Each structure stands twice: as C-alpha cells, then as structure tokens.
Chain A
Amino acid sequence: MSEQKLVATRDVYGQTLLEIGRENQAIVVLDADLSVSTKTALFGKEFPKRFFNMGIAEQDMISTAAGLATCGKIVFASTFAVFGSGRAWDQVRMSVAYTRQNVKIVVTHGGLTTGEDGASHQANEDLAIMRALPNMTVIVPADGYEAANVIRAAAKMHGPAYIRMSRAKTPLVYENEYYGYEIGKGIVLRDGNDATIFACGIMVNAALAAAEELHRKGINCRVVNIHTIKPLDKQLVIKCAEETGAVVTAEEHSIIGGLGSAIAEITSENYAVPLARIGVRDTFGESGSPDELLIKYGLTKDDIIQAVKAVVKRKK
C-alpha cells in the first residue's frame, strides 16, 4: 500500500471524464458554474458541444440532464455535494430516480474535508438523502484509482447514480487501478477475525491505519472498503459480522442515514453484533483545515481505534 502520493478524487474525475468522453460520443456533461472546482472544465474545453454550463441553477441542471438522458445521452451532472444532493433533491427524485434515467450525479466537495468554506459547503447528509431514493446507486470512491474505476463503471451502468468525490488530496489506498472494481461489491483490504471496520471514501485510509496499530496491540481487524453504499454488499456485511462478531463503521458523513446506518440495518436484521459508528455526530461542521476538522469531529484513526476496542469489549 502506497502512502506517499496524495490525490484528490475530483482531479481523477475530471481526467477520467475526458478519457471516456473521447471513447463515447453519447457522453454529455453538465455543470452549474463550478466546472473549475469539479474539474468538468477539462471535458468542456475539449468537447464544448457536449458540455453545458447551466449557470447557478442546480435544479434546472438536474431536470435538463434527465431530458437529455431520455434521448439516449449518458449525462454526467456535476456540482458540489451539498447542491447536487440537497438543493436539487426533488429534481433528482422526480426527474432522475423515479424515471430511472441514465444520469450520473458526480459531486465534489463531499464531507468535512471541504474545509475552510465551512458548514454551508460541507455535505454531511448527502449519502443519507440519496440512499433513501429508490433506483439510486450511491458510491464514494476511496482513492484516485477507485475514482477512475467508478466513473468508468458508472458510464457503463444504465440508470441513476450519485457519486461523491473529495476536494482534499488524500493518500492512495491501491497501488494501481487493476484490482477488480465492481459496483456493489465490497472489497476486503485486510483480513482479521476480532472485528470488522467497514469504511468508505477517505475513511478507508484511516481504517487501514487503525487496523495496523490495533494489530500491534493484539487486535486483528478486518478492513472492508464499502465504496457502494447502495446497493450495499449485504452478503459480505453479514459474512463479516458472523466471522468477526463486532463491527465499526467509518464515514465522512453524519452517523445518521449513511454507511453506518446502512450497515446497522443489515446486521441488526440478520446477524446482530456489537456495532459502533464513526462519523459526524448530528451536528453541522465549521471552517477549518481538513485535518483540524477531522480531529475535532472525531473522524481519525484514533477514534476508530477507540471504537474497535469498545466493540471488542462488548463481544460475549
């Protein structure tokens, strides 16, 4: 596992979009005046005819995307996570999810690590409100390689998807992109039998670091990358609960409604084990550097370690 190189998934998004745009003429990209930040501007520069800047009008963007999709286009619509999920939620529900249109809502600036812009721009609820929508696939890639895989897979998959990228540059989890990515299939990154840490996005790295430190203290954790929050890899979650008997979830999102809730729903209905959720605890964020915020709001390797110790202690 490489830990040196730092990559922001949004940068990979821009580059991958350009690559698949060269391969497939049906790909059309929409943005709502944030194309420099979301990196869709790269696509717009090379394919101006297939790029539509919708201005500061996210609701219009999403419904327009649906209209394009009814005519056979594979539409990528991008903005910040707060706007793509919350501002346009009814449009996503009505025009995209209900109609099962081929629209990929790829958002950047997900979670606390959006940083200095503060609470207004830190989407900590988006996974919850997107996960509640029927027909919607919800994905958070763990690193740059995974971001590329996700975008390629999403373009091939028919139907709506919500894909959340990060603003912050984070360490790579994988050594290359050839590790067999598949939408909806969780990936066991490290084996262990004392507890399972299910993580997504930037928290996958923190989970791996926590597992390494716990290993030195005699606790062997399984670490699973649940990049696809919906549809969730139910079989894998149950299997891990059965085999390790304790679960910790870690996400850069509220503990309400996201990965932690999804895992808790499955384990409690199928194989109940002690469970703890690492995430933002029902509060808004604030301005600060990404690292400061992750520490203040309890989303670090050390928080995961404490949670693992607690659930292991609760095992019968």
Chain B
Amino acid sequence: MVTNEKIAELKVIANKLRQHIVAMTCAAGSGHPGGSLSAADIVAALYFYQLKIKSAEPNWPDRDRFVMSKGHAAPVLYAALAEAGFFPVTYLKTLRKLGSSLQGHIDMLSLPGIEMSTGSLGQGLSAANGMALAARLDKKDYHVYCLMGDGECQEGQIWEAAMTSSHYKLDNLTAIIDHNKHQIDGKIEDIKNLAPFADKWAAFGWHIISCDGHEMKAIIEALGKAVQTKGKPTVIIVDTIKGKGVSFMEAKPLDYHGKAPTREEEQKALQELCQLEGFNNE
C-alpha cells in the first residue's frame, strides 16, 4: 500500500516536472507544453514509484521498460530523467538546442535511460510489444509500460500493435493513454472521433482500467492493478486535462499544444505552480 506521505511526495515531484516543462520549453522557444503537462502526474508516478530502474545503471538488464510513444511529450520525460538522476537538472535548459542530447523528439541513442526513439506517432506500442516478447523469451519478469496520446490512437499502427499485444497475451505490458481529448487541429471528437474509446480497446482484447490522471493515488492504484492482471494486456485510460496546472494553458489547450510559453507566460505559470497546495518551492 502506498503511504500518504509517498503520495504527497509524488505530487510535489509532479509539480516540479511541470515547472521544468514550462521553463525548458520557454528557454527553447518551442516544444509541446500542453501534452507534457497533462502527462506529468502519470510520469511522476511511473518514475518515482512504479518503475524498477537504476539511474546509475541505465542498461540494467532486469529494469522495467518505459516507452514514451507520444514523442512530442519529450519535455516531461526529460524532466523526470533529470529529477531521477540520469543527468543534471541544469542540462534541461539545453532542450532543442544544437548539439544537445535533449532532442525535440526523443532520441534513445543520445540519452541514457531512454528505451525507444519516438516522434513519428503510433510506433511505440509495437516496440513495447517487442520488449515484452523479449522478456518472455529471456524468462525475465520486468514489466513494459507504454504511454500514448489519445490523438495518437488515430494512427492505424496502434491497432495493429493492440492486436499483437492481446494475441500474444502480453500481461507483462501496460499501455497508458493520456486522454486529454485534444489534438493539434482541435478537439478529438471534432477531428476524428475515437468514441467509444474504451470499448475499442476492450474489443481488441484488452483489460481496461480508467482513472483520473491528476489524482496521484488513483494512478498508483491503477498501475498496481495493471501489473497484477494476468492473461491479457492492460490499458489504463487516464482522464487528463491538456496544459494541467497552468490556468491559461488549461483554458486554451489548442494554443499550447506545440507552442512554448513566452517569458511573461513562463513567470505567470511558475507562479501558479508554486502556489499549489503542498508544494514547497526550494
């Protein structure tokens, strides 16, 4: 059972990740804050509670694997890796700069702790399946997690991969969908509706869990249930808010899908994040 103290700690970490996301995209002058902010609580739960990983030994063969299929949410992953000790936090300000390992979209060869390069949507779940199949071949008990966007599920390859996961009964794999209900051009329901979303996954043979993506305890419990599920893969459909934590991004999610905050916006956002309950700014 996760303690209340741990939950409180994870909330603080998620808030830190959000501050990093705002600051690093502002420094870069480009990037994708909206979909990074919506995934911050999930990524905090994974990297600071759920994943068996060792920052000092990134290639530890028995580590859990995490694939960030929505590669444009690179900032939240970089923030988590930095906070987890894979590289110094100060390096985050090099995001998207020439020569930086923090590429605009995720490059596994440039940074330790990254399992797969992504950026062209729809490919991560297939790669995660490959890792889960390898675990089975090698008789290892690590678990594979794959975080996808909801808009990303318009890619056909997601459904090819979804069939593979259930065909091979990959219960050592958990897919997590950051269901923030927006894509670049508009609301998902207007661009190309995914509903009935959970039913689609169920029809593809998956165990479905739904949870509030900004309730840390709910996320932790959902992850716990997912890894205990046997005989089929689990997808956690996480209900999220695009731009979560920054009021003006939440209000206009489409404006901040792929646009960085200005200096003024950054200051305003950081101020808001620092005022959130329970967060002690150092």
Residue pair B119, A99 in contact (C-beta under 8 Å): no
Q: How far is the CA of A70 from the CA of B137 in the complex (A)?
A: 13
* Residue A60 is within 8 A (CB to CB) of chain B in the complex: yes
* Residue B234 is within 8 A (CB to CB) of chain A in the complex: no
Interface size range of chain A in the complex:
20 to 34
Q: How far is the CA of A60 from the CA of B127 in the complex (A)?
A: 8
In the complex formed, the residue of B with least CB distance to A135 is B109
Per-residue CB proximity of B152-168 to A under 8 Å, as 1/0? 00001100110110011
Task: Name the prevailing secondary structure of the A interface residues.
Answer: helix
Residue pair A68, B133 in contact (C-beta under 8 Å): yes
Residue pair B116, A95 in contact (C-beta under 8 Å): yes
Closest 5 CB pairs of A and B: A67-B130, A63-B126, A71-B134, A60-B160, A67-B127
* Residue B55 is within 8 A (CB to CB) of chain A in the complex: no
Residues of chain A in range 18-43 having any CB-CB distance to chain B below 8 Å:
28
Q: How far is the CA of A185 from the CA of B113 in the complex (A)?
A: 37
Q: How far is the CA of A93 from the CA of B117 in the complex (A)?
A: 11
Residue pair B120, A64 in contact (C-beta under 8 Å): no
Residue pair B131, A59 in contact (C-beta under 8 Å): no
Residue pair A94, B123 in contact (C-beta under 8 Å): yes
Residue pair B119, A94 in contact (C-beta under 8 Å): yes
B137 touches which of A50, A59, A61, A94 (Cβ 8 Å): A50
Residues of chain B in range 93-135 having any CB-CB distance to chain A below 8 Å:
107-109, 115-120, 122-124, 126-135
Residue pair B130, A68 in contact (C-beta under 8 Å): yes
Give chain B nearest CB distance to A113 CB in angstroms.
30
Residues of chain A in range 44-96 having any CB-CB distance to chain B below 8 Å:
49-50, 52, 54-55, 57, 59-73, 90-91, 93-95
Residue pair A99, B157 in contact (C-beta under 8 Å): no
Taking CB atoms, residues of chain B closer than 8 Å to A54 are: 160, 164
Taking CB atoms, residues of chain B closer than 8 Å to A50 are: 137
Give chain A nearest CB distance to B193 CB in angstroms.
23
Interface size range of chain B in the complex:
35 or more
* Residue B138 is within 8 A (CB to CB) of chain A in the complex: yes
Q: How far is the CA of A93 from the CA of B61 in the complex (A)?
A: 26
Per-residue CB proximity of A92-110 to B under 8 Å, as 1/0? 0111001110000000000
B109 touches which of A68, A95, A100 (Cβ 8 Å): A100
Show 15 residue pairs from A and B whose CB-CB distance is below 8 angstroms, ordered by the A residue: A50-B137, A52-B168, A54-B160, A55-B163, A57-B157, A57-B160, A60-B161, A63-B127, A66-B126, A67-B67, A67-B134, A70-B130, A71-B134, A71-B138, A94-B117
Q: How far is the CA of A59 from the CA of B158 in the complex (A)?
A: 10
Residue pair B135, A71 in contact (C-beta under 8 Å): yes
Give chain A nearest CB distance to B145 CB in angstroms.
13
In the complex formed, the residue of A with least CB distance to B120 is A94
Taking CB atoms, residues of chain A closer than 8 Å to B131 are: 67-68, 70-71
Residue pair A91, B123 in contact (C-beta under 8 Å): yes
Taking CB atoms, residues of chain A closer than 8 Å to B163 are: 55, 57, 60
Q: How far is the CA of A316 from the CA of B58 in the complex (A)?
A: 62
Residues of chain B in range 257-272 having any CB-CB distance to chain A below 8 Å:
none
- Residues of A whose CB lies within 8 Å of any CB of B are 28, 49-50, 52, 54-55, 57, 59-73, 90-91, 93-95, 98-100
Give chain A nearest CB distance to B156 CB in angstroms.
8
Q: How far is the CA of A62 from the CA of B161 in the complex (A)?
A: 11
Residue pair A59, B130 in contact (C-beta under 8 Å): no
Residue pair A99, B129 in contact (C-beta under 8 Å): no
Most B Cβ at <10 Å: residue of A49, A66, A67, A99: A67
Q: How far is the CA of A50 from the CA of B133 in the complex (A)?
A: 9
A66 touches which of B116, B132, B156 (Cβ 8 Å): B116
Taking CB atoms, residues of chain A closer than 8 Å to B124 are: 63
Taking CB atoms, residues of chain A closer than 8 Å to B117 are: 94-95, 98-99
Taking CB atoms, residues of chain A closer than 8 Å to B135 are: 71
Q: How far is the CA of A278 from the CA of B277 in the complex (A)?
A: 73
Give chain A nearest CB distance to B153 CB in angstroms.
14
15 more A-B residue pairs beyond the given contacts A65-B130, A67-B128, A67-B129, with a C-beta to C-beta distance below 8 A: A54-B160, A55-B167, A57-B163, A59-B157, A60-B163, A63-B126, A67-B67, A67-B126, A67-B134, A70-B131, A71-B130, A90-B120, A90-B123, A95-B127, A99-B116
B133 touches which of A52, A90, A94, A99 (Cβ 8 Å): A52
Taking CB atoms, residues of chain B closer than 8 Å to A52 are: 133, 168
Residues of chain B in range 7-64 having any CB-CB distance to chain A below 8 Å:
61
Give chain B nearest CB distance to A15 CB in angstroms.
23
In the complex formed, the residue of B with least CB distance to A30 is B130
A95 touches which of B107, B123, B167 (Cβ 8 Å): B123
Taking CB atoms, residues of chain A closer than 8 Å to B164 are: 54-55, 57, 60, 64
